[in-house]
């Protein structure tokens, strides 16, 4: 059987994955909200705005008709920004078949409800099987067949393995993971740390500073994740440290680039406008800060980035505050809970 795929969202990542699946010979229809943009992409066979160097295969169709992109499909790839997931699913929930598998590739946490995307999908489409595809994977590289590894996460082993097989290519290696909570949180929260890494670069700090932010950042991510039921080991894998590394170090990363502009003195509005695309870490910082406050979880980097974004704190002062915090054990849980005598 040759699967039929519907891709909801025509940004860079949705486009890259649509191209990948179409290159495997699958029939792919990609929904783009703007009718003129959809027509232009379908005629010229390229996403000029987001991926100008990646041509569309003949079996990739672009449409502004969302019902067409869903009808008679085996898998629906959910590739709209996090803040648009609920509205999109509410719009189409009555035409989605319960047998269709939902695969999310957006990375974020809903601001108002603090829900992960799997929780939103479960609320709106309670009978559909769900998987998350995440990991260190810039669209610009995947679309040009640069070797990449990601993880397919689902509470259902068969679904995780089915999505693994669906996306697996000689240059796109897919692992499986049952920890949907950890994979979703790792993909979302690393964007916050990438903003911090960019701010550090914008301030012209060095590699030492960025390494410290990344290392202590993954500790924060794992700390919040564990409190929500994630497996701590997930954060040492592709959806954790892997995604964190690529997002904090690459100029493909919108979050890092936004942070660089903030470090150079631009306002948040100016920085986001210059990036010209959704910067998921901005909204995710708001969600993560609220979650940490609600649960009583210590996340000092997240707190300082929240203050920079939403309280207009000076970025240099935020770095000084992080450096001047009270002295601590590096591995507090190990040092304190195991009663080391040293």
Residue 152: CATH number of its domain: 3.40.50.720
* Domain match, 102 and 150 both: yes
223: domain CATH number?
1.10.1040.10
The sheet that has 148-153: what strands, in order across it? 60-63, 27-31, 4-8, 75-78, 101-104, 130-134, 148-153, 172-177
Q: What mean pLDDT is predicted for residues 5-15?
A: 96
* Domain match, 156 and 223 both: no
* Domain match, 196 and 54 both: no
Give the pLDDT score at 336.
45
Domain boundary among 178, 213, 247: 178
* Domain match, 142 and 51 both: yes
Asked if 48 contacts 73 with a C-beta cutoff of 8 angstroms, the reply is no
Give the pLDDT score at 340.
52
Q: What mean pLDDT is predicted for residues 28-52?
A: 95
Catalytic annotation, pick one of 190, 273, 290, 321 = 190
Q: Would you state the torsion angle of the CA atoms of residues 117, 25, 161, 66, taken in this order, to the nearest 10 degrees? A: 20
* Domain match, 214 and 107 both: no
* Domain match, 241 and 309 both: yes
* Domain match, 28 and 148 both: yes
DSSP 99-168: TSEEEE----B-TTT--BHHHHHHHH-TTS-EEEEESS--HHHHTTT--EEEEEE-SSHHHHHHHHHHH-
Q: What mean pLDDT is predicted for residues 56-66?
A: 97
* Domain match, 306 and 254 both: yes
Give the pLDDT score at 175.
98
Residue 239: φ, ψ to 5°:
-80, -10
The answer to whether residue 269 is domain-embedded is yes
* Domain match, 102 and 237 both: no
* Domain match, 108 and 82 both: yes
The answer to whether residue 204 is domain-embedded is yes
* Domain match, 159 and 251 both: no
Q: What mean pLDDT is predicted for residues 114-119?
A: 97
328 counts as catalytic: no
Asked if 254 contacts 195 with a C-beta cutoff of 8 angstroms, the reply is no
334 pLDDT higher than 70: no
The answer to whether residue 121 is domain-embedded is yes
Domain boundary among 178, 195, 220: 178
Give the domain extent around 322.
181-333
251 pLDDT higher than 90: yes
- How far apart are the C-alpha atoms of 86 and 57, rounded to whole Å? 30
Asked if 144 contacts 17 with a C-beta cutoff of 8 angstroms, the reply is no
* Domain match, 191 and 165 both: no
The answer to whether residue 340 is domain-embedded is no
Asked if 86 contacts 17 with a C-beta cutoff of 8 angstroms, the reply is no
Question: What pLDDT digit, counting tens, does each position of 69-91 carry?
Answer: 999 999 999 999 999 999 999 99
Total domains in the fold of the chain: 2
The answer to whether residue 342 is domain-embedded is no
């Amino acid at each position: 059987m040759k699967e039929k795929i519907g891709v909801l969202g025509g940004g860079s990542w949705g486009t890259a994955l649509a191209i990948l699946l179409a290159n495997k010979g699958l029939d792919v229809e990609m929904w783009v909200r703007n009718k003129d943009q959809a027509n232009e992409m379908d005629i010229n066979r390229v996403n000029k705005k987001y991926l100008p160097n990646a041509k569309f295969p003949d079996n990739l169709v672009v449409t502004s008709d969302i019902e067409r992109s869903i009808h008679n499909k085996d898998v629906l790839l959910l590739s709209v920004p996090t803040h648009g997931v609920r509205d999109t699913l509410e719009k189409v929930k009555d035409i989605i078949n319960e047998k269709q598998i939902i695969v999310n590739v957006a990375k974020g946490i809903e601001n108002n409800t603090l829900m992960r995307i799997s929780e939103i999908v479960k609320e709106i489409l309670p009978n559909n099987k769900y998987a998350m595809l995440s990991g260190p994977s810039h669209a610009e590289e995947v679309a040009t067949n640069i070797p990449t590894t990601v993880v397919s996460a689902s509470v259902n082993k068969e679904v995780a393995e089915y999505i693994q097989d669906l996306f697996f290519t000689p240059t796109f290696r897919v692992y499986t993971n049952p920890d949907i909570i950890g994979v979703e949180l790792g993909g979302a929260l690393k964007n916050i740390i990438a903003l911090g890494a960019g701010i550090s670069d914008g301030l012209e700090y060095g590699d030492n500073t960025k390494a410290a932010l990344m290392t202590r950042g993954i500790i924060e991510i794992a700390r919040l994740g564990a409190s929500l039921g994630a497996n701590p080991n997930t954060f040492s894998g592709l959806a954790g440290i892997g995604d964190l590394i690529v997002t904090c170090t690459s100029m493909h990363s919108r979050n890092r680039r936004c942070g660089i502009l903030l470090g150079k003195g631009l306002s948040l509005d100016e920085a986001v406008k210059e990036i010209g695309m959704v910067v998921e870490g901005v909204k995710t910082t708001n969600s993560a800060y609220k979650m940490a406050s609600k649960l009583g979880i210590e996340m000092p980097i997240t707190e300082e980035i929240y203050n920079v974004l939403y309280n207009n704190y000076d970025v240099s002062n935020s770095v000084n505050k992080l450096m001047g915090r009270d002295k601590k054990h590096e591995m507090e849980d190990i040092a304190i809970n195991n009663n080391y005598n040293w």
